Amino acid sequence: MSDDEDESKARPPRERLPPRKSARAKQSLKRIRLRSDDGRDDEVGYGKPPRSHQFKSGQSGNPKGRPKGSKNESTILKEVLNEKLSLRQSNGRIRKIPVLEGIHRKQTELALKGEVKSAVFVLNRYAALVSGELQPEDLSEDDRAVLDAFARRLRGSNNDDQ
């Protein structure tokens, strides 16, 4: 036996695959458009469901969705920060101020007592005001005067350390 005969016995014959369909063959397929049985000529397609599957007028597409009047987190936070609270002034009078103003006043008070984190918070907020990120109308003249005095005092203590 020769080498050619040994190889032909060892390898099975190669099977022929059916020819592949070209891209043109796929394009030439005829598309059939189905229409509803009622004879109307309504278009059906993307974003246009058949009449039988459309929502009835007055019916919600998401009946168990978010209930009316429910609020998201930002709305709740705005409402909480704008609530009024009572502040007793040094002359004994009670003044109503928004919670946000109370937070700023408390942070300023703590900063004046030496709390470094409070001072950083107040000065960062003040820097944002000065740079134009926030509207200057957000602080009253009294608040601005307190912050200016604190900034001068802080700058003075930093100069003494150097």
- Between 81 and 40, name the one with better pLDDT: 81
Average pLDDT over residues 13-18: 71
Instruction: Please give the share of the chain, as a percent, with pLDDT higher than 90.
Output: 28
72, with CB counted inside 10 A (0-12, 13-18, 19+), is exposed
Q: Annotate 48-115 with DSSP letters as a single string.
A: B--GGGSPPTT--SSTTSSPTT---HHHHHHHHHH-EEEEE-TTS-EEEEEHHHHHHHHHHHHHHTT-
> Residue range 102-118: average pLDDT?
93
Region 100-121: mean pLDDT is: 93
Q: Which of 132, 129, 131 is nearest to 143 (CA)?
A: 129
* CA–CA distance, 34 with 130 (Å, rounded to integer): 67
Model's pTM, two decimal places? 0.42
Name the band, by pLDDT with cuts 50, 70 and 90, for residue 23: low
pLDDT at 98: 94
Maximum Cα interatomic distance, the chain, rounded to a whole number of Å: 122
Amino acid symbol at 137: E
Return the pLDDT at 103: 92
pLDDT above 70: residue 43 = yes
The pLDDT of residue 47: 83
C-alpha–C-alpha distance, residues 104 and 146, integer Å: 11
Average pLDDT taken over every residue of the chain: 79
Q: How far apart are CA 74 and CA 80, in angstroms?
A: 10
